[in-house]
Amino acid sequence: MLKVIILGDSGVGKTSLMNQYVNKKFNAQYKATIGADFLTKDVTVDERLVTMQIWDTAGQERFQSLGVAFYRGADSCVLVFDVVQPKTFDNLDSWRDEFLIQAGPSDPDNFPFIVLGNKVDADGRIVVQKRALAWCQSKGNIPYFETSAKEAINVEQAFQVIARSALKSEAEADIFDMPDTIDVTERRSAASSGCASKGC
């Protein structure tokens, strides 16, 4: 199970991206997410079957205090902005910082983020690709995709990268958390030979 959190301002298309990826559907009617919602999808990553639990969180200020509970245990975080609304891009810093504070990952410098510049199908684009890439590079080369939930542009590809980075992050966490190994083969062979000598 991989837990993926989607963050960003209200109206950038977080719910639409999740629905397009999981259900291959797009709903043009906007309805704000209250609190948080999640969908699951089974995917194959490098020949491993994993279940992605994708959490769609509310972008409105009044619900942000609820986010803390949902951030814990996340394996990856998706930061979304709207290429037509520059304010949503400017707020990426605060979303990223807030996540790192509240989620408290063991290795914040290498935690797998991904940035999606959504609504590239819309007219009136303001945030150019070069600016978004520069921001991602300044934060440790975060992967960046230009997406359209409406037209299904790069949605599948972006979530494949998300799944792969989340899986890698979880695998590395497991290595750190592994207990000391105990050699049980010696005892087992000794016990079985003792049994044989008694004829049991």
pTM summary value: 0.79
> CB of 9 within 8 A of CB of 87?
yes
User: What CA–CA distances, in Å, run from 190 to 75, 150, 183, 186, 195?
Assistant: 43, 65, 13, 6, 9
* pLDDT tens digit sequence for 98-149: 899 888 888 888 899 999 999 999 999 999 999 999 999 999 999 999 999 9
151: Cβ contacts below 8 Å, ≥ 6 apart? 121
d(CA 147, CA 129): 11
> Domain residue spans in the chain?
2-197
Looking at residues 83-109, what average pLDDT do you find? Answer: 92
* pLDDT tens digit sequence for 18-77: 889 888 877 765 555 545 567 888 888 888 888 988 888 765 554 455 556 778 889 999
d(CA 2, CA 128): 31
The architecture (CATH level 2) of 2-197 comes to 3-Layer(aba) Sandwich (3.40)
d(CA 17, CA 6): 9
> CB of 130 within 8 A of CB of 6?
no
